[in-house]
Amino acid sequence: MSDSSGKLKLGALVALVVGSMIGGGIFSLPQNMAASAGVGAVLIGWGITAVGMLTLAFVFQTLANRKPDLDGGVYAYAKAGFGDYMGFSSAWGYWISAWLGNVGYFVLLFSTLGYFFPIFGEGNTPAAIIGASILLWAVHFLVLRGIKEAAFINLVTTVAKVVPLVLFALICLFAFRLDIFTADIWALGTPELGSVMNQVRNMMLVTVWVFIGIEGASIFSSRAEKRSDVGKATVIGFVTVLLFLVLVNVLSLGIMTQPELAKLQNPSMAAVLEHVVGHWGAVLISVGLIISLLGALLSWVLLCAEIMFAAAKDHTMPEFLRRENANQVPANALWLTNAMVQIFLVITLFSNSTYLSLIYLATSMILVPYLWSAAYAFLLALRSETYEQALAERKKDLIIGGIALLYAIWLLYAGGVKYLLLSALLYAPGAILFAKAKREVGQPIFTNVEKLIFAAVVIGALVAAYGLYDGFLTL
C-alpha cells in the first residue's frame, strides 16, 4: 500500500483499537465480574488493571515511536528482542488467541439472537452453528475486497456500538443507589468467592479479555498514514474503553446486588437495563451487542490475517502466507484463519465449551505476546538503546516497562496452571510452520536456547494432552 490514499488515518486506527476492544466482553461484564468478585475486590482489581494496562498501552506507544522500522506490533517486538522462535511464538499465540476469540464471539452473537429466536439457544445449537458459518464466510469475502474498505465499515460499526453504551451509562447514573452498592462491599455474604485476594485474581482474567485489542493499531503500523498516529491511537482507544468498562461495571453494582448480578444470563447488561426501564432496555442492549459483535468480528478477522502476513513477510512464517490478492489483502492467511474458526465452530456443537471457557483460553494465549512486548520495551531502556540523547525519557520508560512486565507476569500467574498447560498444547504444533519457514530460507531451525524452550513447550503440551485424556484437565 504505497499510495497514501490507501493508508489508514488516525480515526480509522482509533476505531480499530476501540472496535477490537469493545466486542462482546463489555456486554457481559456485570455478570462476569459479579460471578468472581464483590464490590471492594472489583474496585481494587480495576485499579490494578488500569495501571497495568495503561503501562502496556504506553509500551506499545513507546515502541511504535522508538522502533518505527518494526512492522507488525507484538510479533516484531518479540522477534527483535528474543530471536526468531519467540517472534514466531508471539505471532502464532496472538493469531490463535484472535481466532479463538472470534469463535467465542459467534457463540455469544447467536446466544444473543436466541433472545429473539429461541432456535439459536445458547449459541451452540445446530441452527446457531449453521448461521454462524454463513456469517463467517460473508465477513471473509467482505475482507477479501480490501483492508481500507473493511476498516471504513469497522469505523461505522464502532460509532454504532458506542451509542447504546452511552445511553446505558446515563440511565444507570440516575438509577444508581448507594445503599445497594455498599450493602456487602467485601462479599462476606458469599463465602464461596473466597478471600479478597482470590476475588481480585479471578476478576483480573475477565478484565484482560475486555482489553485485548489494545495492540490493534500497532499491528497495522505498516498501513498507517503517519507513524506517530499508531501510539496516539493506542492511548486514545485505551482511555475511551477504560472509561466505558468501569462505568458499566460500577454502575451495575449500584442497581442490582452482587448475588443478583451473578445469576443473570448474558448479555447481562441487557438484564440490568431491563431492571431499570423495562423490556425496551433489554432490546436496545441486545441490538447494540449484535452490531458490536459484527464490528468486532470484522476487526479481528483483519488482525488475524495481518499478523500472519507480517510474520511471513520476513520469513518467520512460511512463504504461502505472504500471498496477497489484487486488493492487497493477505488472502492465504485469511483462508487459513477462517478455516480454523469453522472447524472450532463445529467442535462447539459437540463439546459443551461455553463462551467463558473459550475466552479464558484465548486470553491465556495472548499473555505471552504481551509479556515479550513489555520485556522488549524494558530491555531497550535498560540497554539505553535509542535513548542516547534522552536520559530523562529513559528513566521514565524503564519504570513503565518494568511495571508492564510485572503486570504481564502477574497475569500469567492469575491465569493459573490449567490455562498455561492448555496453551502449551496449542503452541507446540506451531513448530511445524516455523520449521517450514526456516527450511525455505535454508537456516537451522532452532538455536541452542530455543531448543530448550521448545522442549519445555512440548513437555507442557504432553502433560495437557494426558490431562484432557485422563480428565484432570477440562476445556
Over the stretch 7-27, which tens digit does the pLDDT of each residue have?
889 998 998 889 888 888 899
Domain, as residue range, for 378: 12-419
Please say whether the beta carbons of 289 and 28 come within 8 A.
no
Look up residue 221 and give its DSSP letter.
Answer: G
Domain assignment present for residue 257? The answer is yes
* Core vs surface per residue 186-201: b (16+ CB within 10 A) or e: ebeebeebeebeebbb
Q: Say if residue 375's pLDDT is above 70.
A: yes
* Core vs surface per residue 96-132: b (16+ CB within 10 A) or e: bbbbbbbbbbbbbbbbbbbbeeeebebbbbeebbebb
User: Alpha-carbon distance 301 to 105, whole Å?
Assistant: 12
Binned at pLDDT 50, 70 and 90, residue 150 comes out as confident
* Residue in 343, 327, 336 with CA at minimum distance from that of residue 305: 336
Could you give the 3-state DSSP secondary structure of residue 146?
coil
Report the pLDDT averaged over residues 198-219. Answer: 85
Domain assignment present for residue 201? The answer is yes
N-to-C CA span, the chain = 41
Please say whether the beta carbons of 148 and 6 come within 8 A.
yes
pLDDT at residue 5 in the model: 60
Question: C-alpha cell of 391?
Answer: 536520559
Question: C-alpha cell of 362?
Answer: 484465548
User: Alpha-carbon distance 424 to 456, whole Å?
Assistant: 9
Domain assignment present for residue 449? The answer is no
Q: The cell 456486554 sits on which residue? A: 27
Domain assignment present for residue 469? The answer is no
Domain assignment present for residue 429? The answer is no
Q: CB count, 10 Å around CB of 392? A: 8
* Residue in 380, 434, 415 with CA at minimum distance from that of residue 66: 380
Q: Say if residue 230's pLDDT is above 80.
A: yes
* Average predicted confidence (pLDDT) for the chain: 91
- Tens of pLDDT, residues 389-425: 888 899 999 999 999 999 999 988 888 888 889 999 9
Amino acid identity of residue 133, one-letter, is S
User: Alpha-carbon distance 80 to 62, whole Å?
Assistant: 15
Look up residue 429 and give its DSSP letter.
Answer: G
* CATH number of the domain bearing residue 36: 1.20.1740.10
pLDDT at residue 352 in the model: 67
Domain assignment present for residue 457? The answer is no
User: Between vectors from CA 424 to CA 422 and to CA 428, what angle results, nearest 5°?
Assistant: 130
Domain count along the chain: 1
User: Alpha-carbon distance 209 to 57, whole Å?
Assistant: 15
